[in-house]
């Protein structure tokens, strides 16, 4: 690539970043801080219809701390809304409605008072995925609510509960407390993310130890030695689950693992650098169709589900932006620009500040309610893009 072409790519990336930050500050944060908050019962709505109307739906544990996390990033983008008030609103609701007596968080509660009181548990079962996002949301709250001790206290209580209830003999963590559940890589990934966030916040050795445990598990036992990819489901460390479940590889998760491993180890360890480059390469070479990241592959890297959701586009942007910043190689800059273009089409809704969640192989964006859970992915992607350009 010529020097002029290099400059054009960088200029185009910067222009896209400016548009995304404007979209956040002028549309997304104002919309979700008003219509996305439940001012009657507390907490955050699960989704907003395409006209901005809140949709009545069961409240999932994972959504509440994700929204806390998304709003905790708002000040860095220059948004001047009531971040402290929103975080307090969301965190108080989450702890009151979802926390069990043992310190773990139940999965789902009722959204209204039609038959039973709002917040009545629908699914009291705690799953590792939700606990990981509880930790991540608490870390974000701790960064903003600096006068409050509660987030740090609750996070330490939850870390101990996770280690006590979810740790498996033979390595790794159970996906839920129900017997016979598979070992899933995705909850480990988000527990890794939360551990890194808390270590970056506190430098406490127990958070670093947890992050090290998961990072080493992935490198030694979850990475496929042939493809370099991480599968979704395992019967145990090193043993893919039987049948189709054990063959599934999600390109979006390859980007996420690469991003996290680079955050964990930087560029100092050649083995980890090689692994992260392979993860990005697998997703870039096998997971892109029609300019977007598709949902899933099989273990031979053939396409399995050709639909494309929003969140893998955001993860592609995060991983390539971090790789471009650390390695200063043009291929990562070019992929960053491509990812920014792909993500932006999901944000082109009639009411600004919403997003489409699904793109079909036909090229049609599915018109359905915008899930609040996607905001966390979008905000992180824009944050990583901003770090590259800073």
For the stretch 48-93, pLDDT in tens is 999 999 999 999 999 999 999 999 999 999 999 999 999 999 999 9
The residue among 69, 91, 80 whose CA lies nearest residue 137 is 69
∠ CA 15-16-17, nearest 5°, is 90
What is the rounded distance in angstroms from the CA atom of residue 17 to the CA atom of residue 390? 11
- 332 torsion bin: left (phi>0), alpha (psi -120 to 50), beta (else): alpha
| Per-residue tokens: 60 | 């999932």
Find the farthest-apart pair of alpha carbons in the chain and give their distance in angstroms, rounded. 66
Residue pair 69/137 in contact (Cβ under 8 Å)? The answer is yes
Report yes or no on 182 lying in a domain: yes
pLDDT digits (tens, 9 = 90+) for 295-352: 999 999 999 999 999 999 999 999 999 999 999 999 999 999 999 999 999 999 999 9
Q: Considering the domain boundaries, does residue 159 fall inside one?
A: yes
Structural domain contains residue 3: no
Which CATH number does the domain housing residue 314 bear? Answer: 1.50.10.10
Residue 1 lies in a domain: no
Encode burial over 291-316: b for 16+ CB neighbours within 10 A, e otherwise: ebbbbbbebebeebeeebbbbbbbbb
Q: Is the pLDDT of residue 108 over 60?
A: yes
Q: Give a yes or no: residue 2 inside a domain.
A: no
Within 13 Å and on the Cβ side, how many CA atoms surround 1? 14
The answer to whether the beta carbons of residues 298 and 247 sit under 8 Å apart is: yes
Task: Give the Å distances, CA to CA, from 261 to 25, 207, 258, 353.
Answer: 30, 15, 5, 31
Confidence of residue 2 (pLDDT cuts 50, 70, 90): low
Instruction: Report the half-sphere exposure of 152 (CA within 13 A, side-chain side).
Output: 13
Residue at 26 is within a domain: yes
Alpha helices by DSSP H, the chain: 3-23, 29-32, 63-72, 83-98, 128-144, 150-165, 185-202, 205-217, 251-265, 270-286, 310-327, 330-346, 374-389
> What's the chain's average pLDDT?
95
* Domain encompassing residue 176: 8-389
Is residue 268 within 8 Å of 252, Cβ to Cβ? Answer: no
Tokens of 292: 């977007």
Number of domains in the chain: 1
In the DSSP assignment, the letter for residue 42 is -
Q: Taking the model in full, what pTM does it have?
A: 0.96
For residue 146, pLDDT beyond 90: no
d(CA 310, CA 99): 29
Q: Is 198 a member of any domain?
A: yes
């Amino acid at each position: 690539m010529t020097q002029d072409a290099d400059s054009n790519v960088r200029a185009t990336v910067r222009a896209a970043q400016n548009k995304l930050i404007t979209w956040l500050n002028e549309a997304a944060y104002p919309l979700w801080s008003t219509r996305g908050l439940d001012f009657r019962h507390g907490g955050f709505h699960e989704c907003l219809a395409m006209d901005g109307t809140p949709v009545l739906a069961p409240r999932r544990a994972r959504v509440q701390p994700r929204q806390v996390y998304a709003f905790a990033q708002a000040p860095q983008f220059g948004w001047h809304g009531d971040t402290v008030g929103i975080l307090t609103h969301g965190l108080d609701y989450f702890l009151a409605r979802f926390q069990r007596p043992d310190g773990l968080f139940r999965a789902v509660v009722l959204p209204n008072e039609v038959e039973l009181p709002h917040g009545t548990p629908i699914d009291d079962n705690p799953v590792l995925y939700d606990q990981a996002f509880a930790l991540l949301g608490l870390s974000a709250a701790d960064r903003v609510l600096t006068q409050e001790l509660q987030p740090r206290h609750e996070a330490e209580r939850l870390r101990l509960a996770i280690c006590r209830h979810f740790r498996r003999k033979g390595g790794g963590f159970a996906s839920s407390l129900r017997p016979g559940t598979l070992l899933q890589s995705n909850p480990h990934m988000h527990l890794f993310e939360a551990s890194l966030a808390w270590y970056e916040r506190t430098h406490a050795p127990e958070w670093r130890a947890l992050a090290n445990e998961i990072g080493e598990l992935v490198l030694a036992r979850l990475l496929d030695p042939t493809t370099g990819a991480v599968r979704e489901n395992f019967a145990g460390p090193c043993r893919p689950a039987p049948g189709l479940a054990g063959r599934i590889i999600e390109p979006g998760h390859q980007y996420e693992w690469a991003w996290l491993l680079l955050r964990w180890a930087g560029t100092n360890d050649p083995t980890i650098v090689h692994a992260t480059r392979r993860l990005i390469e697998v997703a870039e070479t096998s997971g892109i169709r029609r300019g977007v990241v598709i949902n899933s592959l099989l273990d031979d890297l053939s396409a399995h589900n050709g639909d494309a959701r929003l969140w893998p586009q955001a993860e592609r942007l995060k991983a390539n932006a971090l790789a471009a910043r650390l390695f200063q190689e043009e291929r990562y800059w070019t992929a960053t620009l491509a990812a920014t273009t792909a993500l932006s089409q999901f944000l082109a809704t009639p009411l600004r500040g919403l997003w489409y969640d699904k793109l079909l192989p036909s090229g049609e964006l599915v018109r359905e309610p915008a899930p609040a859970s996607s905001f966390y992915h979008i905000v992180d992607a824009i944050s990583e893009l901003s770090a590259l350009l800073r």
